[in-house]
Amino acid sequence: MDDKFCVIGLDLGTTSVKTLTVDQTGVTRFRAARKISTNIGPNGRAVQDPFEIRDALNSVFELALHAARKDGLLVHRVGFSAAMHSLMIVSEEGEPLTQAMTWMDSRAKKQAELLWESLNGKKIYEETGTPIHAMSPFVKLVWLRETQPQLLKMGNRIASVKEWIWHAWFDEWMIDESMAGATGLYDVEKRSWHEHALTRIGVNPAQLSRIVPTSYRQAGCRETRLQLAGLTADTLFSIGSTDGVLANLALGVTDSSKMVFTVGTSMAVRSGAKRKVTNPSLRPFCYRLDDQRFVIGAPSNSGGVILEWLMNMLYGDDRAENVDETLAVLIRDAGNVELQSLYCLPYAAGERAPLWDEEAKASFIGLHLKHQKIHLVRAAIEGMIYNAKWLIDNLSASTGNPEQVYLSGKLFDELWICQLCANVFGVPVVRQTLEDASTIGAILLAADTAEFAQSLKRCERSEKMDPEEEMEEVQRLRFKEYQRLCRLLYPSA
């Protein structure tokens, strides 16, 4: 191996695509990101333009390749991470016949409700590990079968955005086991496509990609603009996994003694297990990492999208170009305000866990004339954390109580938010300085050497925070009131 090499990680997120370059000593040499847009429409539509996504990914990848060449670094390997539950229908040649539906698309909510109430729905969940919900590609395909059956005819393919880009790069239809699990069409124990789920949507396995392990690699990327930027035919690409699974891998959370609380556009709480874990009353997801390890957890819609929505509400068309800086200041200063009786139920995008209600709405309860913008931001952040506490408690029923919780996401750059998490969760939290855990996970999986992993570990810094006894009791009472208010509005929660 060349003495001066690097590994590049790519991440297809919901709101942006990112790239991260790490050299052989574990030092970050380059990073870039580019936002992508989501078309939000009536009846719960939330779709993206796959060509915009691919162009954005190629652009940041191209920048990373130029930077590596400038630094004299050989691009040894490339790792691939992606958000779960995207769905496209494409022709056999790879021409998109639909836009890419995201996990936020809730047009299949009626089908989700009917499926979940059926015995077959619960059985499919228990065998696939994917909750029956409008987020699931399986449920979306049930909806498409009922509303646009011509799209699912033989000859058309079903794919995630990640699969579609992989096909564009390597002329093969492949899907890693974790992404396959996120479709709701994969039998997590038999490690094959789920026959009954395919029958339910009238789809043949030939219309789906070939399932491969997360360790699968391929060379010979045929994207011309990447070749011109310096990519060689010898560079090995790792197909990688989903963003949540890779975040757990990066943070070393692959058993039930720890949990990860990740906040991006959405949020999730995840733990590890050595066996499949499902529970119809709580609906945790269960996705395969490798032959012996699973990642289980609970997904929530109520992540960073709530703060984005709140900024739209507060500033509307007057939002300045420096809106990100404005939000950052509000978040920083929100640590100095007290809410007393103000609560936010952060369900503006509907909710998966713990409510499982696509029709859920956001609420501010306890507003007073004295409250200002900063109080709303503080309440929204607390609402996210109380929701996460609820998820942790539910997940602990299946895995046992965690000894500590790892915090992952830019939101945790603010130390007061980390301390609030410790006080609400009632266990120590560990704040990692990883720039992006999912992308680091993709890099680790791609490099696949203990030496490289140790180099990355040496460059990590973390900070542990213990619960503050007095504030822990205050937050215990506030969380109890938060749950009471939620159950008044959503009695089935």
In this structure, the answer to whether residues 277 and 205 fall within a common structural domain is no
What are the backbone angles phi and psi of residue 337, rounded to the nearest 5°?
-110, 155
Q: Is there a single domain that holds both residue 237 and residue 258?
A: no
Those residues whose C-beta lies under 8 Å from the C-beta of residue 464, and which sit 6 or more positions away, are 404, 428, 429, 430, 431
Same domain, yes or no: 398 and 431: yes
Same domain, 480 and 408: yes
* Last residue within a domain, chosen from 216, 244, 272: 244
Rounded to whole angstroms, the Cα distance separating 212 from 103 reads 23
Give the orientation angle of helix 373-399 with respect to helix 323-333, to 10 degrees: 70
Residues with pLDDT less than 50, the chain: 1
* 224 and 281 inside one domain: no
What 3-state class would DSSP assign to 247?
A: helix
Please give the structure tokens belonging to residue 309.
Answer: 């929505």
Domain end among 222, 244, 266 = 244
231 close to 221: Cβ distance less than 8 angstroms: yes
In this structure, the answer to whether residues 422 and 475 fall within a common structural domain is yes
* CA-wise closest residue to 489 among 376, 305, 392, 362: 362
> Looking at residue 437, what is its pLDDT?
86
Check whether residue 161 and residue 295 sit in a common domain: no
Q: Are residues 36 and 72 in the same domain?
A: yes
Residues 118 and 102 in one domain: yes
Q: What is the reported pLDDT for 466?
A: 97
pLDDT given for residue 317 in this prediction: 58
The pLDDT, as a whole number, for residue 460 is 67
pLDDT at site 1: 46
Question: For 27-93, what is the HEC assignment?
Answer: CEEEEEEEECCCEECHHHCEEECHHHHHHHHHHHHHHHHHHHHHCCCEEEEEEEEECCCCEEEEECC
Q: What is the CATH number of the domain that holds 438?
A: 3.30.420.40
Task: Please name the residue that has the structure tokens 């929204």.
Answer: 380
400 Cβ contact partners less than 8 Å away, ≥ 6 residues apart: 256
Same-domain pairing of 263 and 177? no
Residues 6+ away with beta carbon under 8 Å from 373: 314, 330
List of residues 6+ apart from 451 with CB closer than 8 A:
none
Provide the pLDDT for residue 3: 65
Please, is 428 exposed, middle or buried when counting C-beta atoms within 10 Å of its C-beta (0-12, 13-18, 19+)? middle
**Against a cut of 0.85, is the pTM above it?**
yes
Q: Which domain holds residue 82?
A: 5-244
pLDDT at residue number 258: 94
Q: Which amino acid is located at 401 in the chain?
A: N
Q: Are residues 194 and 262 in the same domain?
A: no
Number of domain units in the chain: 2
Task: Mark which of 179, 210, 244 sits at the end of a domain.
Answer: 244
Tokens of 11: 């991440």
> In this predicted model, what pLDDT tens digit does every residue of 101-114 receive, in sequence order?
999 999 999 999 99
Calpha distance 118→114 (Å, rounded): 6
Q: Which residues pair with 32 in a beta bridge?
A: 19
DSSP letter at 468? P
Same domain for 185 and 45? yes
